[in-house]
Amino acid sequence: MGRNVLIIGMGLIGGSISLAIKKEHPTYKIVGYDIQSERSNLAKSLRIIDEVVDSIDHSLDLYDFIIIAVPVTQTEEMIEKLANSSLKHGVIITDVGSTKQQILKKARILVEKGICFIGGHPMAGSHKSGIVAAKEHLFENAFYILTPSSQVTERQIEELITLLTGTKALFIQLTAEEHDLLTGVVSHFPHIIAASLVHQAEDFYQSNELIKRLAAGGFRDITRIASSSPTMWRDILMHNRVMILDIFEKWISEMEKVRSMIELGDGDKIYSYFEKAKDFRDGLPVRVKGAIPSFYDLYVDVPDYPGVISEITGYLAKEKISITNIRIIETREEIYGVLRISFQTEEDREKASVCIEKATSYLTYNG
């Protein structure tokens, strides 16, 4: 039986969820809304959604599911709007926000009216944004965290999971507090560290312009996440500031410990520190997506002659291998230059490596 789904927010996440639902539930009608109507109209023209609404001030009682796929601050505003609207009996409302405690607190106004709200956070993304980057497999093997309130029933949780089965995500239930602490450690705080490293490099750049040239390789790679949306990260840190401040205390203590080792010249402790970090890092899962989008890069040594980049991308296009980014990461005076080609998945990167090796004699290597 077909059901009606409203997705509020026609960006990468909202569009990808819509595609996953359409694949698994072809009889469901998916309606899209975005404050910028050109986004929702584009989503319809790309067949990501079935219908567009220009306003959500009426007809909200038609929907069995409402998915709020907008930034966290706007999510709170949308919850308030829905709480003051006439909704269908039994409707299930969820969100996709990167923080949960403040959103669940706001959602009490829905719960008090007997409306089911289940906090959600699909922990996957892309280095591209917007509806045109939406993919039905974006969340495959990614953790999809649900933070239901105590009033939510198991049947309602199962209904939502059934709706989202097409994402092929790994569903986990956590409390809002657990979610915000875990994402604070593995996502929110690393973004702060990346941004602070960039700021530090910029400060040194004022006195030595060579910094920018030296930072073009590995430094640029390890600070990639500092290029994320400033608006999004402002909102996330404001929402999760209690957890973030607690993590700051632990981080400062950790840095003091490292500083003391170096100050004392304790080589054994320094070695042990890096060894322990290496062991833990090497033991992290490889095939499962985490809180920060993975980078699937292939580095290709190519000779410097006109048309070499289009030649390489032509091989990939012939095999229908999509790329997400391509960049010359090193300018050298020798005969070879280096291309860094980025892919959506590990599988695409491996296919590309085989493709290029077959077609050329160039040396390729994974980053």
Structure tokens at 316: 């990939």
* Whether residue 89 is found in the same domain as residue 225: no
Structural domains of the chain, count: 3
For residue 361, the model assigns a pLDDT of: 57
Q: In CATH, what number is assigned to the domain containing residue 79?
A: 3.40.50.720
* Residue 289 in domain: no
Q: In CATH, what number is assigned to the domain containing residue 355?
A: 3.30.70.260
Q: How many CB atoms lie within 10 A of CB 295?
A: 16
* Whether residue 242 is found in the same domain as residue 319: no
* Whether residue 170 is found in the same domain as residue 183: no
Which of 178-187, 288-297, 353-362 has the highest average model confidence (pLDDT)? 178-187
Outline where DSSP puts E strands in the chain.
Answer: 4-8, 29-33, 51-52, 65-68, 92-95, 116-122, 143-148, 170-173, 296-303, 325-330, 336-343, 364-366
- Report DSSP state, residue 270: H
* Residue 287 in domain: no
Q: The pTM is what?
A: 0.77
- Give the Å distances, CA to CA, from 122 to 89, 97, 152, 266, 302: 26, 8, 19, 43, 38
Q: Which of 152, 174, 196 is the last residue of a domain?
A: 174
For residue 112, the model assigns a pLDDT of: 94
Range of the domain at 358: 296-366
Q: How many CB atoms lie within 10 A of CB 96?
A: 23
Q: How far is Cα of residue 118 from the mean position of the Cα atoms in its chain? A: 20
- Is residue 355 scored above 90 in pLDDT? no
* Whether residue 169 is found in the same domain as residue 183: no
* Whether residue 198 is found in the same domain as residue 65: no
* Whether residue 158 is found in the same domain as residue 203: no
For residue 325, the model assigns a pLDDT of: 73
Q: Which of 256, 282, 308 is the last residue of a domain?
A: 282
* Residue 324 in domain: yes
Residues 279-282: contacts with CB under 8 Å, at least 24 apart: none
